[in-house]
A and B are shown apart, each in its own frame.
Chain A
Amino acid sequence: MRIKESEKDGVVVLTLSGKMMLDAKSAGLHDYVKNLIEQGKTKVVMDMGKITWFGSTGLGALLASYTSLKDNDGDLKVARATRKIRSVFMFTQIIKVLENYDTVDEAVAAIK
């Protein structure tokens, strides 16, 4: 999995791409977010439109990131989650805590 960082209206946008499965990079997503928190960046949007595979390690890192941001008065929104990811969010009820938006702009507007 690759992580590309950009900023929009004071919100960090992490564009994730590739396989979000059982690899060090997927688990490393939480460390990446913790590093952002240390820099005082606590509003994060994750663009998941380019994720080709999605597994429990990626989901665990995503949820841990959400908790760490919330614990630091921040927030996490998801944008452009694929149909498969949305299905998992729905069946596990993750959708109740982690909102998905159709576009990055919508997610940024919601978190500002």
Chain B
Amino acid sequence: MDDIKTKLKISLNSFDDLEQVRKAVINFCRHYCRSNDEIDIIEMSILEACHNAVQYSEKRKNKPLCELMLFYDNQSIKAIVKNYGKPFKVVEKDSFSIDQDFLQYKNGGLGIPLIKSLMDSVEYIRKSDNMNELIIVKKLTKNQ
């Protein structure tokens, strides 16, 4: 990700803004992804991350509930999702697997495992002032 070609930044202040995010992510990915499947899973992963960030964010004066940044670097698409609030577990959670007991997800808790299984890299950084930063990366398939 050293040679970043493009980036996009979106602020979210409510769940209503997710529709704008969805459209922006699809438009962004359409330029670089080679298949609809790839766009679908990037879109779903980013929306999942943004949805949870808005859901659990602390309201701060003059700050959005969540901030999304998208980057493209010739090989991959990277999304950074930031919010303020309680820390959450990322490293401790495994990727989703069909061998797991599905009943554990009956009331939620599948978000991070799902993102981990759909994307190539998921990183979490806890910053000062209660800021959470989730960094998710999808390596793009090459032209056949």
Contact = CB atoms under 8 A, between A and B. Distances in A.
Interface of A: 21-22, 27, 30, 53-57, 59-61, 63-64, 66-68, 83-84, 87-88, 90-94, 96-97
Contacts of B48: 55-56
B110 interface: yes
B98 A94 contact: yes
B75 interface: no
Given A67-B101, A68-B103, A92-B118, A56 B40 contact: no
Nearest to B105: A60
Q: Is the interface of A mostly helix, strand, loop or mixed?
A: helix
Given A55-B44, A61-B106, 4 more contacts: A57-B108, A64-B102, A88-B40, A90-B37
Given A91-B117, A93-B98, A57 B110 contact: yes
Contacts of A87: 36-37, 40-41, 44
Nearest to B112: A56
B111 A56 contact: yes
A88 B41 contact: yes
Number of contact residues on B: which range applies? 20 to 34
Contact of A91 (B36, B43, B51, B118): B118
Nearest to A90: B37
Given A60-B110, A67-B103, A88-B118, A55 B41 contact: no
26 contacts: A21-B51, A22-B108, A30-B106, A53-B47, A54-B44, A55-B47, A55-B48, A55-B51, A57-B108, A57-B110, A59-B105, A60-B102, A60-B110, A61-B105, A64-B102, A64-B106, A67-B103, A83-B36, A84-B40, A88-B40, A88-B41, A88-B114, A91-B41, A91-B117, A92-B117, A92-B118
Given A68-B103, A96-B98, A59 B40 contact: no
A92 B108 contact: no
B108 to A, nearest CB: 5
A92 B119 CA distance: 11
B32 interface: no
A66 B102 CA distance: 8
Contacts of A92: 96, 98, 114, 117-118
